[in-house]
Structures are given as structure tokens and as C-alpha cells.
Structure 1
Amino acid sequence: METRRLEFLVELARLGSMREVADVLGVTTSTVSQQIAALAQEVGAPLVEPVGRRVRLTPAGRRLADHGITILAAVDVARRDLDPGAEPAGTVRVAGFATAIRRSLLPLLPDLAASHPHVRLVCAEHEPTEALALLADDAVDLALVYEYDLAPRPFGRRVQATPLWSAPWGLGVPAADADPAGDAVAVFRRYADRDWIVNSRNTADEDAVAVLAALAGFTPRLSHRADSLSLVEDLIVSGLGVGLLPEHPGPRRGVRVLPLRGPGVRLRARAVVARGRERWAPLALVLARLTGSSAARPGR
């Protein structure tokens, strides 16, 4: 039903006269009568009945008027909640990879709680493919994802991806290995016959490895898959393969990270929202804080 028509019915229940309703709402008596008649047609029940020269609500009209008070109040609350200029309030659901939650989101929480106590964040750790699927299903409001510059992710037109920060990644190898000379292609060629370790829940590093390996003239033997970076390091220490690792912070003892240059490998973090949702006040606030925080720490 048209909620604007409910206002006419609620006012009629309060004032008892179409003329008084017309005066309060700034319309003609005929308009009041037409709007209530149209509402009756929408709900399929008579809402008023004549009593001499006046009208009164039918039992159905009284019940709908009672509902109308609640409905109109809820609509008003929804309008205020969705107003981009309103004070932010609500729960922002976030799915993202662990580093972005730890580095970008958690530092915001103390100041956010102090300045906007009615904004609440709930977080879930997910790899990019999982986080973007949750965003597409409207199960979260914000996805924190990553890609590598060598294998950029196509996000599509339905979402808005905002850059946050980037970090250099290198090739994690056993610490005892000799230091190969040359650019990234030469480094990869040195390890062409090794087993390779890639992510078990996301293909981003697998794609980056494939690009550099192709430039080096070989197809990598992808033997192990691990989601945890510490497990990747354990596999490397055990001599089971090599794999991409962040240059900073340094790896554990027994692993070294060979820098990759020309071309390099940089992980790029992105904050992704459904297009149009960024105007929702709580989400706009979190995005502004995320991008402002990232701008203060460029380069990594």
C-alpha cells in the first residue's frame, strides 16, 4: 500500500473529521476522501462509513489506523537511518583477510567507539573469494580483499573497490640457499625444479606465481596448499617447497625471503562495497576512516 495514504487515515482516526485532516495536511477535503478511498481499494476493505454528514472509521479502518501509527514511525526511522547526512548508527558487517583486519580495521576501533558509539562493527576472517561471495549475497556490508599487481582481480561494475595499501612480497626459500643473482625472472628460473606452495583458499598467489613462472619459461609444480603463512614457512623449513611470502615483517628462522624486482610482486589491499551502498552513513564513516588511515601509511 502507499504509505502516504496511511497518514490520511491515521489523522482521521485522531481528528475525527475530514475537514480537520485537510486543514492539518494542507490539502482539500476532496483529496482526503480520495486518498482514503484509494487506500480502501488497496487493502480490499471499507475503512470509513457515513454517520449523518460525517464519517467514522469501520472496525477494519480502526485496526489499520493502529497499524499505521507503527508503520509510519518505522518508515520515518528508516528514512533517518538511511539519510547520508544523519548521525551514523547501525551495525557494519565486515569480511576480510586477517592482515587487513589486523592492520586496517582494528586500529580504528577505539576512536570509532569514542566518537560514534552507535556504530558497531562485526568481523569475520575470510579469503577474498569468500568475502566477495558474502558481499554479493548481502551477508556483509564491506569486504577487505587483496590481489597482486601481476594478476589483478576484475571486480566488475556491481561493486566499488577502494585502494587501501600495498606491500612487497618475495620468494620464501630455505635460509641455507645461495642468493641467486638477477631480477625476479632469474630468481624464479633458479627454482623451476622445486615444488611450490600456494594458498589453499584463494588463487591470487597461484596466479602471480604462474605469471612469473611463464616469464621464466616453466610451469610451476604446485604440490602444497596452505592458508596459514606460518604453515608455508614450516613447509619451506622442512624442504618441501618454496612460495610467496611478505618481505615485511621478516620470516621465521630458517626461511629467507628473496626480493623480487623487475617485475616485482606487490600485494594490494582493497575495501570493496556494493555500488550505491557506500552512501549509507555508518559504512561511509568506516570507509572514510579506512582510507584516511591507509593514506597515513603509504608504500607498504
Structure 2
Amino acid sequence: MDIPFGFVEQWGMDTRRLRLLLELSRLGSMREVADEMHITTSTVSQQLAVLTREAGTALTEPDGRRVRLTPAGRRLAAHAVTILSAVEAARLDLDPGGEPAGQLRVAGFASAVRRALIPITAVLARDHPRVRLLIAEHEPFEAYELLAADAVDLALVYDYNLAPVTPDPSLDVVPLWQKRWALGVPTESDVDVFSAARDADWIVNSRNTADADVVRAVAGLDGFSPRFVHKADSLSLVQDLIVAGLGVALLPEGLALQPGVRMVPLTDPAIVLRCYAVTRRGRATWPALALLLRLLRAAP
């Protein structure tokens, strides 16, 4: 008779009885099982009787003064090896004090991937080889959607101090780093303050509106409406467009500038990008995810 794996769910997965059956298959005696498990022989007998009723078929049969497993019992004992191994693996994987292990799906914007995730992969390979990062580059709104769909375990997102984003209350948000941004202009340009770019064409992100929102907010304080003409996601391409004289754009301070681009510092108001690590509520106790969050918080 085949033992259907699905009936395990109907028992409520009492792995203790499976353990007793597996030990009986190994030791061949209820008394030896009782000694091994530090319980009484009658307890072993009672629990195996319950297991037999749940299986709906005989699992043991008399063998002189001892018992032996029936063919169905041997098949279930073989299943028990797999079931108990999987349960133990899950316990170790989810134990807050356990060794981190597993695949971590991370969605993050390009700068965060370069700044933090790529260096962390080397740390994990050296110190935690059982943890593997699966990295996907996404803008914040895309990362939030993936997180909501449970398609990723962690999202690296950003907003600006002048265009804050309020995340869903079902999410846990960990602040990471901040970065000031400046105005990137052609080297020969005479723009020396934000307001001097009122007549310039602007280059903004092609997949996210955050930088356009910030430019619009600051321009409003200076009494003008910016003219958004070009869109580019890559900061390298943004610089190419600036060099070509096609417009101005926000760029992070400290960025390696191409020849033909210079930075105009912005101080009143300052524009600050803020990076966050976001997870679904209650997930951060998973050892692998908790480890990644610690490494991200420690990143320079």
C-alpha cells in the first residue's frame, strides 16, 4: 500500500510519532526505542497506536515477542527520514539564534547596489557562505510593489528630505545612509546657484519622479517652474547629456565627474537623499535577513 504524503498534514504534523516509528525501524524493539527516547515502553506503544489510526493502515506486526514494521510501516519510516530532515532544516533556518542560511531576494536602486550590496556579497562569501544574495535593480516604487507581492525579502529604497515618502504601515523601515545632492551643470556654464537655472532645460530620472518632485519644490521656492526635457536613469548618461549642453540635473555629491561637468553646491535648502532598508513586518527575525540588515547598517 502507498502511504500518501498528504495525510501527514491531516495529523497536525506530530513529528514525535514519526520519530518513534523511525527509531523502531532502526532499533527493532519498543523497549530499546523507549530507552533511546527516555520514555516508557507503554508510551511508545500508545503513540505508535495513534499513528496507526491516523495512517489508516497497520504499521507494525508481531514478530515473536517483538514487533516489526509492516511494508506500509517501512514506507512511512522512509518518508519520516525526509519529513524530519525538512522540519529540522526549517527549525535551524528560522531559529533567531541559528546560523544564517538561505537565499535573500533584494530589490534596490543602482547606487545602493554598488555602494552596499556588492561589498556585502564578498563578506557573505567569506563569513556566511550559506547565505546568498539574489539582486535585482529597481527604482523605489518598483521595489515596494515587489515587496508587497512577497517577490523580494528586502527593498533598498530612497526618498529626499524635500519629497518624503510615507511607507505602508505594514512594512518595517530601517534608515541607512544619507547623501547630499548638488546641481550638475556644464563646466562653461555661469550657473552658480539653483535659481540661475530657471531658464535651463532639466534632465530627470526616467523611471522615478522623486528628483523631479524635488526640483519642482525648490524651484517653487525661487518662483519658477522647471522645464523637464530629458529623462535618463543612468547617472553616467545624465552626465553625457550635461556635457552635450542639453541641460542641468541633480547629481550626488562625491560622484566622479566627467570632464565638462561641474557641481554647484545646494545649501538653502539642502537636498538630501535618504536611503532605507524595508522589509515586511515580522520578517526581520529570520537569521539571514537579520544578518543582512546588520551588515547594511554597518556599511559606510
Aligned equivalent of 1:167 = 179
Q: How does 1:113-262 map to 2 (within 5 A)?
A: 113-180=125-192, 187-188=194-195, 190-262=196-268
The AA in structure 2 aligned to 1:195 is D
Per-residue deviation, 1:273: 2.8
Q: State the secondary structure of the residue aligned to 2:151.
A: coil
For 1:164, what is the secondary structure of its paired residue?
Answer: strand
Contact 2:107 2:155 in 1 (8 A): yes
**Letter of the aligned partner of 2:186 in structure 1?**
P
Partner of 2:24: 12
Change (3 A) 1:28 1:293: same
Residues 35 and 165 of structure 1: CA distance in aligned 2, closer, same or farther (over 3 Å): same
State the secondary structure of the residue aligned to 2:284.
helix
**1:215/1:36 CA distance change after superposition, 3 Å:** farther
Change (3 A) 1:224 1:67: same
Contact 2:191 2:197 in 1 (8 A): no
Distance 1:170 1:287 in 2: 29
Deviations 1:168-200 (A, max 9, x none): 11222333332445xxxxx24x43444322111
Give per-residue Cα distances to partners, 1:243-297, cap 9 Å, x unaligned. 2111222532333332222221111122223333322223322322222233xxx
Instruction: Using the TM superposition, name which of 31-40 and 285-294 deviates more.
Output: 31-40
Which amino acid in 2 is paired with 1:114? R
Instruction: Give the 3 Å change call, closer, same or farther, for CA 234–63 of structure 1 in structure 2.
Output: same
Q: Hey, what's the Cα distance between the residues in 1 that align with 2:221 and 2:121? A: 43
Deviation at 1:67? 0.6
Using the size of structure 1 for normalisation, the TM-score is: 0.81
Of 160-169 and 50-59, deviating more is 50-59
SS of match in other structure, 1:7: helix
The range that moved more, 283-292 or 136-145, is 136-145
Task: Report whether the alignment pairs 1:106 with 2:112.
Answer: no
Q: Which amino acid aligns with 1:176?
A: E
Superposed CA offset, 1:46-87 (max 9, x none): 434567886543332221111102211221122123223233
- In structure 1, what is the equivalent of residue 3 of structure 2? none
Which letter maps to 2:77? Answer: A
Equivalent-residue separation in structure 1 for 2:46 and 2:289 (angstroms): 41
Change (3 A) 1:60 1:103: same
Q: Look up the match of 1:282.
A: 288
- On the 8 A contact 2:180/2:253 being kept in 1, the answer is yes
RMSD of aligned alpha carbons: 2.9
> Deviation of residue 149 (structure 1)?
1.3
Matching residue of 2:4: none
The code of the aligned residue for 2:93 comes to D
Confirm or deny: 8 A CA contact 2:108 2:138 kept in the other structure.
Answer: yes
Deviation digits for residues 208-230 of structure 1, max 9, x if unmatched?
22322333344433322210112
The structure-2 alpha-carbon separation of the partners of 1:31 and 1:267, relative to structure 1 and needing over 3 Å to count, comes to same
> Which residue identity does 2:298 align to in structure 1?
G
CA shift digits 1:22-47 (9 cap, x unpaired): 44434455544453344345444443
Q: Amino acid of the residue matched to residue 243 of structure 2?
A: V
Q: 1-side partners of 2:282 and 2:165: how far apart?
A: 21
Q: Which residues of structure 1 form unaligned runs of 5+?
A: 182-186, 295-300
Cross-structure match for 2:86 = 74
